[in-house]
C-alpha cells in the first residue's frame, strides 16, 4: 500500500501575460507548496475501486470526472494496465479554490502508481501525462517551489522560503475558466527578479481583480489577512477564492487564525508552512 501526500499548491505570484489562440493564457507564476493537503491511498486489490473520504468529500461528484481516476487511466494508457487498484482519496482541501486540490490529487495518483510499478518519478512521460490532465498538474507532480511559464507546465526550480503561512477560504467555489475569461487582457509585465521571497513580495496575482469581481467575499478575506499583526504578504492564490498570508513568526500566524476563528465567519482556515 502507498499513501501519497497531495499538498496544497500556492501561486505566490501569478502574472498573466497574454491570451493564446488555444483559449489558454500565457503565465509567469511562482509555485510553492505547503506541508498539508489531501492524501491518496493506493492498494493493490482484486478489482479497481475508488472512494472519497474526508471533510471535503461531499464537494466532489462520483467516479465520472474525478482527476484521480483520470490520472489512473492515463497512467495505464502510457505504462500498461498493471494490477487492479483500490484508491481512496482523503479530501481535506476545499474544492475549486485555487490551491490545486484536484491537480495535487492527480499528481499524487501518478506518483503513487509510478512507485508501485517502478517508473522513475522524473520520467518525462509522467510529466506529459500530467500536462494532459491540467495546467497545474506538472507543478504538483514535481511538488517543489518553481517558476512556471507557458500554461504553467514549463518549470524551473528555485529555492523555497521556509515560512509560516495561513490559508483562508470564504467557502465560495470559483470557476478557473470564468476568472481567466474575465481578465482585462492588460499585460502588467513579467515576474520580478530575485529569490522566491523577493519575487513573491514584488509580484502580483493578476487574477485577483477578476476573481474579486466574481466572488466579492475575497475582499473581506484579503482585508482581514492584510490587517493581521506581523503579516509580510497577503494575496489570493491561483484563480481563488483561497487567499494566503505569509508570516515571519508562528505566533503571529496563530493570532491571525484565532481572530478569524473568533469572528465565526464559517471560513476554512489552515495553519501550515511553506514546504
Beta carbon nearer to ligand C5P, 127 or 180: 180
CB proximity list for 80: less than 8 A, separation 6 or greater: 117
Beta carbon nearer to ligand C5P, 23 or 61: 23
Beta carbon nearer to ligand C5P, 116 or 131: 131
Residue 9: active-site member:
yes
Distance in angstroms (rounded) separating the CA atoms of residues 233 and 116:
40
Distance in angstroms (rounded) separating the CA atoms of residues 157 and 252:
29
Distance in angstroms (rounded) separating the CA atoms of residues 66 and 106:
9
User: In whole angstroms, how close is the CB of 232 to ligand C5P at the nearest point?
Assistant: 27
Beta carbon nearer to ligand C5P, 21 or 162: 21
Contact residues for ligand C5P, defined by CB under 6 A? 23-25, 27, 134-136, 151-152, 176-177, 180
Q: Going by DSSP bridges, is the β-strand pair 2-19/25-44 parallel, antiparallel, or unpaired?
A: antiparallel
Beta carbon nearer to ligand C5P, 98 or 164: 98
**β-bridge mates for residue 87, sequence order:** 42, 50
What is the Cα 141 distance to its own chain's centre?
11
User: In whole angstroms, how close is the CB of 153 to ligand C5P at the nearest point?
Assistant: 9
**Which one of the listed residues 90, 136, 206, 252 is annotated catalytic?**
136
CB proximity list for 79: less than 8 A, separation 6 or greater: 113, 117, 119, 125
Q: What is the largest CA-CA distance in the chain?
A: 54
Alpha helices in 44-100 (DSSP H): 67-79
Beta carbon nearer to ligand C5P, 180 or 247: 180
Residue 115: active-site member:
no
Distance in angstroms (rounded) separating the CA atoms of residues 194 and 171:
34
User: In whole angstroms, how close is the CB of 27 to ligand C5P at the nearest point?
Assistant: 5
Contact 139, 152 (CB under 8 A): yes
Residue burial 158-180, b: 16+ Cβ < 10 Å; e: rest = bebbebbbbbbbbebebebeebb
User: In whole angstroms, how close is the CB of 238 to ligand C5P at the nearest point?
Assistant: 9
User: In whole angstroms, how close is the CB of 132 to ligand C5P at the nearest point?
Assistant: 9
Active site residues: 9, 136
Amino acid at each position: 500500500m502507498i499513501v501519497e501526500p497531495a499538498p496544497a499548491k500556492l501561486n505566490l505570484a501569478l502574472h498573466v501575460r497574454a491570451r493564446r489562440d488555444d483559449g489558454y493564457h500565457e503565465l509567469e507564476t511562482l509555485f510553492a507548496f505547503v506541508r498539508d493537503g489531501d492524501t491518496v491511498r493506493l492498494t493493490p486489490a482484486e478489482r479497481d475501486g475508488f472512494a472519497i473520504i474526508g471533510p471535503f468529500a461531499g464537494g466532489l461528484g462520483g467516479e465520472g470526472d474525478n482527476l484521480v481516476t483520470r490520472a489512473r487511466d492515463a497512467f495505464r494508457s502510457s505504462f500498461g494496465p498493471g494490477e487492479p487498484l483500490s484508491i481512496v482519496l482523503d479530501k481535506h482541501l476545499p474544492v475549486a479554490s485555487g490551491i490545486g486540490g484536484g491537480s495535487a490529487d492527480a499528481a499524487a495518483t501518478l506518483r503513487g502508481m509510478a512507485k508501485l510499478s517502478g517508473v522513475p518519478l522524473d520520467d518525462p512521460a509522467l510529466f506529459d501525462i500530467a500536462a494532459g490532465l491540467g495546467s497545474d498538474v506538472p507543478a504538483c507532480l514535481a511538488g517543489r517551489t518553481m517558476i512556471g511559464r507557458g500554461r504553467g507546465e514549463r518549470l524551473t526550480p528555485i529555492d523555497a522560503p521556509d515560512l509560516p503561512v495561513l490559508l483562508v477560504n470564504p467557502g465560495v467555489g470559483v470557476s478557473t475558466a470564468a476568472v481567466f475569461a474575465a481578465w482585462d487582457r492588460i499585460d502588467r509585465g513579467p515576474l520580478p527578479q530575485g529569490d522566491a521571497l523577493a519575487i513573491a513580495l514584488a509580484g502580483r496575482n493578476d487574477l485577483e481583480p477578476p476573481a474579486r469581481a466574481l466572488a466579492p467575499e475575497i475582499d473581506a478575506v484579503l482585508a482581514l489577512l492584510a490587517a493581521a499583526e506581523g503579516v509580510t504578504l497577503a494575496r489570493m492564490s491561483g484563480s481563488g477564492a483561497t487567499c494566503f498570508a505569509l508570516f515571519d513568526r508562528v505566533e503571529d500566524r496563530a493570532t491571525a487564525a484565532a481572530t478569524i476563528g473568533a469572528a465565526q465567519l464559517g471560513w476554512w482556515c489552515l495553519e501550515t508552512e511553506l514546504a
